[in-house]
Amino acid sequence: MKSRTTLGVFGGITTAQLLALGVAYVTKPVTIAAPPSQNGSVPIYVNGTVKSVSASNLTNRMPVEGISLFGFGALSSVATAGLLVLLSLAAAFAFAFLFRRGGVRFLVGGVFALASFSLNWYVLYYLLPSSLWPVSLGFPAAVAALMAAYSIRPERFRGKALIVANAVVIGTGAELGLFLSSSFPKLTVLALAVLFSLYDFYSVFRGPISRMLGPPSRGTEGTARSVRPAAAELGPMMVNFGDLQMGLGDVTFYSMMPAAVYLNGMGLSFVLAELLLIDLGVYLTIRLLKKIRPLPGLPIPLLLGALVLLF
């Protein structure tokens, strides 16, 4: 694999991670556990427990709805993460079904346009002063239009246009990672990392992704191999780094992990350790790509990164 591709991968991942951390630092997300009580206090998640605070203490903080479907504790976290894995698997099979029939582009365009608009609008609403409301509306609308066009006609995005599209996908992945990290308690984030690593392994080699990309190819070390050309049609589902394509889900989870460490107040040293472990996992995955393609991008980085969340 070319060194330029490797640098592009690490540059894109690092950009997404720092963007997620930067937005978290500026907007100070607070995870809302339940609607405000009659006395005006707001239940929020704090280090895996629910704490009631005055609404006045949440001024200038971005509220994020907490998701804890089965309560707290290890088993509840595993159950929540397991349900999300099953839903993702069902969605992936449906996506693969549509992919084979050529009707998936419009679905992806609509979903990503709506998702990118919602994420960017919500972040900018709390990031910018009210006097700049046209920006907080116009920028998300422009990004949504770009995502729709990229989904429907990805083959027309070349050169600088492709770079811009990839940048938007990376930014979307960073925002998704931030919202995942602030929507779930720490134990659920840990369970998500482990279970989605297993899901990614199955999906790439035996599941729906393998049906779209074809079976893995093996060869001598250093031999360049590419996945099926149809993978290039996935638009914002993938980030194109030249010789290597990375799924949006990979960028999302790579961003989620350090953001979760930061939002759980574990300190700068743990955030840096998380970044280094994720990058080490990505490096090891890239090394393995010389032996086999396609390869799941989540297992090694996330399982290494999960070590920090155990503290």
User: Tens digits of per-residue pLDDT, 40-66?
Assistant: 788 887 766 778 888 877 877 898 988
In this structure, is residue 98 part of a structural domain?
Answer: yes
In this structure, is residue 40 part of a structural domain?
Answer: no
In this structure, is residue 39 part of a structural domain?
Answer: no
Domain count, the chain: 1
Please give the span between the terminal C-alpha atoms of the chain, in angstroms, as a whole number.
36
Q: Which of 112-126, 184-198, 216-230, 283-297 has the lowest mean pLDDT?
A: 216-230
Determine how β-strand 63-65 pairs with β-strand 30-32.
parallel
In this structure, is residue 4 part of a structural domain?
Answer: no
Nearest-10 crossing angle of helices 104-127, 3-27: 50
What single DSSP character describes residue 34?
A: S
Pick the residue with more confidence: 170 or 216? 170
Neighbours of 166 (CB within 10 A): 20
Mean pLDDT in residue range 225-252? 71
pLDDT at 302 over 90: yes
In this structure, is residue 64 part of a structural domain?
Answer: no
**Of residues 138, 145, 136, the one with CA closest to residue 164:** 145
In this structure, is residue 65 part of a structural domain?
Answer: no
Q: And the tokens for 255? A: 């961003």
How far apart are alpha carbons 143 and 168 in whole angstroms?
A: 7
pLDDT band at 185 (very low <50, low <70, confident <90, very high): confident
In this structure, is residue 32 part of a structural domain?
Answer: no
Phi, psi (rounded to 5 degrees) for 289: -65, -20
Q: What is the pLDDT of residue 83?
A: 95
Structural domain range at position 272: 12-25+71-309
In this structure, is residue 221 part of a structural domain?
Answer: yes
Q: Which of 56-65, 147-156, 235-244, 273-282 has the lowest mean pLDDT?
A: 235-244
Tens digits of per-residue pLDDT, 261-284?
999 989 999 999 999 999 999 999
pLDDT at 110 over 90: no
Q: And the tokens for 302? A: 């996330």
**Of residues 29, 13, 23, the one with CA closest to residue 263:** 29
How far apart are alpha carbons 112 and 307 in whole angstroms?
A: 32
Q: What is the pLDDT of residue 48?
A: 64
Model's pTM, two decimal places? 0.87
pLDDT band at 168 (very low <50, low <70, confident <90, very high): very high
Mean pLDDT in residue range 163-184? 93
